[in-house]
Amino acid sequence: MIGNDIVDLQEAASTSNWQRRGFLEKVFTPNEQSMILATTNPFQMVWRLWSMKESGYKFYLQKNPNAMRGFYPAKINTQIICGEIGQVSIHDMELKTKTICHPNYLFSTAFEESNISTKTNIFYLPQRAFQFQSNFIREKLINYLAEKDRLDKVHLKVKKNKNTAPLIYYKSSLLPFSCSLTHHGNYGGFSISKLNIKN
């Protein structure tokens, strides 16, 4: 299982205002709010914690495909452990996160500690249209798998279940991968990990 989330920092700066009244209280726990206000770069911290929460939420839905969707960011607890490594608690689940902090974007991945072998690819998206971006990322993922496992990409398909976790098929067989797709503004990416048999 895997969940990811990207924040295009320029997009976040232009479409959201974390300083508006009520924003922090709706998204963050009291501890997180204190941490944000205590840093020298609260903007960066807001979006880093946001992407950790979102990646944890996506992990949770992938693990529990029948769970109710909801918008409850302040009920998802985040902590920064050290550098790029963090922790997310969502419902009864404890996850580790890794956040890549690039000058243009933040990219968080949530995973179980036992399964940290994850491949992540991030790319610039030359167009803004939703359908373009969605297709572009799927194509990147298919090309990656085709090359890595020497598969004929004509037979590789990415499908989504109702809770929107993507599944990868080769011909009609489901491949043993967990993956997560994300895009925001002009950036997008995928994360993929091999499923443990016990999953």
> Is 91 an interacting residue with respect to other proteins (CB under 8 A)?
no
Nearer to other proteins, 131 or 173 (CB): 131
Nearer to other proteins, 1 or 46 (CB): 46
Residue from 31, 69, 139, 196 in contact with other proteins (CB under 8 A): 69
Q: How far apart are CA 46 and CA 97, in angstroms?
A: 16
Q: How far is the CB of 137 from other proteins (least distance, A)?
A: 14
Buried b vs exposed e over 67-102: b needs ≥16 C-beta within 10 Å?
eeeeeebbebbbbbeeeeebbbebeebebbbbbeee
Binding mask 163-182 for other proteins (x = CB under 8 A): -x------------------
Residue from 15, 31, 34, 39 in contact with other proteins (CB under 8 A): 15
Measured over the CA atoms of residue 51, residue 56, residue 57 and residue 62, the dihedral's sign is positive
Nearer to other proteins, 55 or 145 (CB): 55
Q: How far is the CB of 57 from other proteins (least distance, A)?
A: 8
Name the strand (E) or helix (H) holding 188.
strand 187-194
Residue written as token pair 């949530």: 110
Q: Kindly report the three-state secondary structure assignment for every residue of 150-170.
A: CCCHHHEEEEECCCCCEEEEE
Residue from 1, 2, 4, 7 in contact with other proteins (CB under 8 A): 7
Q: Token pair of 71, please?
A: 């918008």
Binding positions for other proteins, 23-62, rule CB under 8 A? 23, 26-27, 50, 54
DSSP H helices in the chain = 9-15, 23-27, 30-38, 42-63, 130-149
Positions in the binding site for other proteins (CB under 8 A):
7, 12, 15-17, 20-23, 26-27, 50, 54, 69-75, 129-130, 164, 184
